[in-house]
Amino acid sequence: MKALRQRKIKEIIKNKNISTQEELAQALQKAGFNVTQATVSRDIKELRLIKIARKDNLYVYGLPEEQEIIHNEERLRLMMQEFVLNIDYSENIVVMKTYPGNAHGVASLIDGSKWQGVIGTLAGDDTILLVIKPKEKVGALINKLESLMK
């Protein structure tokens, strides 16, 4: 049942603009799947769905390998302003907290920015870890991120 439901999720997000877990749960229920928000949330994590900024500035769920992701600073600025709650750091690790379900989209745009010093990101549901090298670049990166939130 799980595999069938997850195939249906992929089909739904390819054919419809789904922006929230609630919209996805409703679409699944219309397709005959009795799901809860918790089930949908687990499926999103397992499928590694991310929020993708479409050309019309609509953020929708998509698969990480989708090529329609647009990497530019203005899109990152919009995502930072809308979804990022705070930024903190320790040594060479920067931690960004987002609203639930939005860390992947923000991390993807940061990865696409290819900023010097950011050697990698790791995104959960609402937390992004950025690994910075050398650690002396952390201050400048924090300033850059915070300026994008304004």
Q: Whole-number mean pLDDT of the chain?
A: 89
Return the CATH number of the domain spanning residue range 73-149. 3.30.1360.40
The whole-angstrom separation of Cα 38 and Cα 92 is 34
pLDDT tens figures, 109-139? 898 888 999 999 999 999 999 999 999 999 9
Cβ 102 vs Cβ 126: under 8 Å: yes
Specify the pTM: 0.57
Task: Kindly list the domain boundaries of the chain, sorted by start residue.
Answer: 2-47, 73-149
Whether residue 35 contacts residue 8, with contact meaning beta carbons closer than 8 Å, is answered with: no
Residue 57 binned pLDDT confidence (cut-offs 50, 70, 90): confident
